[in-house]
Amino acid sequence: IFYALSKRHIVKQGLKILPWIQAYYLNFYPAHAMRAKLFLSMFRDTPAIELQRLGEEYAQELVSALSPEIFAQLQQHQLLGDQVVLVSASIDIYLAPLCKLLDIELICTETQIKNGMMTGYYSTP
C-alpha cells in the first residue's frame, strides 16, 4: 500500500473504512476480513498493468534487501534439488515477480483482474 499509493489516497480511503480499522484494532473485526476490506478500498479500479509494474519494482527491491546468508541458504537448497515454496497470505502482485526472480514456487492470495482493472477483490482465499 505505502509503496504503490499516494499518502493522500491512503488517507482518503482510510477515512472511509475508519470504523472497520478501529474495530480491527479493538479485536472486534477479524484480520482476514480487514485485509480484504483494506485491499478493496485501496486498489479497486486501479489499472492492473500499473500495479503489476509497481509489484515488479518492489520485488526487485525485496531481492536486493535479502541478507546474503539467507540468499546463500536458498541457493544451497536449490543446488540440492529441494523444492522451495514461499507460502504467504500476502498478495501475488509483488510476490509472483519476487518468486520468479528467486526461481521458487509460490502459494499466496491471488488478486482479481477484470477488463485490465483491479476489482479490489481476491480470486483466492
Q: What are 22-39's pLDDT values in tens digits?
A: 999 999 999 999 999 999
pLDDT value of residue 60: 98
Q: What are 56-75's pLDDT values in tens digits?
A: 999 999 999 999 999 999 99
Banded pLDDT at 125 (limits 50, 70, 90): confident
> CA 120 to CA 26: how far, in whole Å?
25
- Helix, strand, coil percentages (3-state) for the chain, rounded to 5, are 60, 20, 25
Task: With residue 38 as reference, give the H or E element that holds it.
Answer: helix 31-43
Backbone angles phi, psi at 66, to 5 degrees: -65, 140
